[in-house]
Amino acid sequence: MSISPSNGAVAPSSQVIRFNPADRRHFIGGSDARIIMGDDQADLLRLWREKRGDAEPQDFSRNLIVQLGVVTEDLNRRWYESNTGQTVKDAQKRLRHPVHKWMAATVDGIVEPNGAVYEAKFMLPWSFSEEAAAEKHMAQLQHNMWVANARNAVLSIITGGGKWVEIQISADPLYQHLLLTAEKKFWRCVQSGEPPHLFGLEPPRPRLEAVRIVDMSSSNSWAELAVVYRRTKTAYEEHEASKADLKKLVPEDAREAVGHGLKAKRSKSGAVSFELVEAADA
């Protein structure tokens, strides 16, 4: 028995299963979770027809990006292990949720010793960002963590630009609740024959662990704003200090205090705010 990462309840361990990878009709896997949580109605209907046996599974043998991910998976795992000192075991381990038998996962590995779900990906370098990568694969990672009863996941990415990125993601109870709700509804549609519709769920934005030091020297926007910040920092500090001292000068029984082009106003709650006024008005 182990503790569920999402709600703290005691949950039985995941079951190791054997199934034909070509026959994915009898369960929802991690790659299916992304479609279920997505915004493409055509993809959702195609997946529904596949699960009902009314359509053949998609053939990715001619998809170059998918095949690059397949052939670089071993390299990705070795690169992750050599750069982190961690060990990845149980490559392509197949699990089924102990309660929801229609939930399954094929994980790229399990990280020792912390038990994190390991996922290897190949992504194109143009317009690549860690935030976009995490968001793209969040449904799959949260699904696999739920099935594997894991608290953490690791996304190990090799890009076509020769860059390797590690992203660590924790189990998100709210995201997993929304994910489970959507998957249950989809599976009921598979069983009943009723076509599914997009669920319209807005999952929380992925929370990334801040682990990088980034050099912003090449950013023109950063340079312009940095100049403004440096130029106004002293003036801002003087402004805040004078405001604090001015508040102390306002008598406690005063509703307003005016002088030298400045008006202080006290709210009903007792908070003092300031506004500039013209000399004539003052």
Residue 17: C-alpha distances to residues 56, 98, 104, 191 (Å): 23, 11, 9, 22
Identify whether 55 is part of a domain.
Answer: yes
Identify whether 111 is part of a domain.
Answer: yes
Residue 122: C-alpha distances to residues 19, 30, 67, 160 (Å): 25, 16, 9, 7
Q: Is 177 exposed, middle or buried (0-12, 13-18, 19+ CB in 10 A)?
A: middle
Do 225 and 115 have their domain in common?
no
Dig out the tokens for 38 from the structure: 């997505």
Q: What is the DSSP string of 104-129?
A: EEEESEEEETT--EEEEEEE-STT--
Q: What is the pLDDT of residue 10?
A: 37
Task: Give the end of a domain, one of 145, 161, 192.
Answer: 192
Do 264 and 240 have their domain in common?
no
DSSP letter, residue 57: P
Number of domains comprising the chain: 3
Do 174 and 66 have their domain in common?
yes
User: Number of helices and strands (H, E) in the chain?
Assistant: 7, 13
Q: Helix (H, G, I), strand (E, B), or coil: what is residue 168?
A: strand
Do 256 and 146 have their domain in common?
no
Do 223 and 263 have their domain in common?
no
Identify whether 102 is part of a domain.
Answer: yes
Do 27 and 81 have their domain in common?
yes
Do 128 and 6 have their domain in common?
yes
Q: What is the pLDDT of residue 23?
A: 65
d(C-alpha 45, C-alpha 197), whole Å:
8
What are the pLDDT tens digits along the chain (282 aa)? Answer: 333 344 444 344 555 544 454 467 899 999 999 999 999 999 999 999 999 999 988 888 889 988 998 999 999 999 999 999 999 999 999 999 999 999 999 999 999 989 999 999 999 888 788 888 998 999 999 999 999 999 999 999 999 888 999 999 999 999 999 999 999 999 999 999 999 999 877 766 666 666 678 889 999 999 999 999 999 999 999 999 999 999 999 998 999 999 999 999 998 888 899 999 875 555
Do 50 and 133 have their domain in common?
yes
Residue 212: which of 150, 175, 164 has the closest Cα?
A: 164
- The strands making up 262-266's β-sheet, listed across from edge to edge, are 256-259, 262-266, 272-276
Identify whether 198 is part of a domain.
Answer: no
Q: Which domain holds residue 277?
A: 250-282
Q: Is 4 exposed, middle or buried (0-12, 13-18, 19+ CB in 10 A)?
A: middle
Identify whether 202 is part of a domain.
Answer: no
Do 38 and 156 have their domain in common?
yes
Do 254 and 234 have their domain in common?
no
Identify whether 206 is part of a domain.
Answer: no
Do 127 and 220 have their domain in common?
no
Do 229 and 259 have their domain in common?
no
CB atoms within 10 A of CB 175: 25
Do residues 109 and 144 touch, judged by C-beta distance below 8 A? no
Identify whether 103 is part of a domain.
Answer: yes
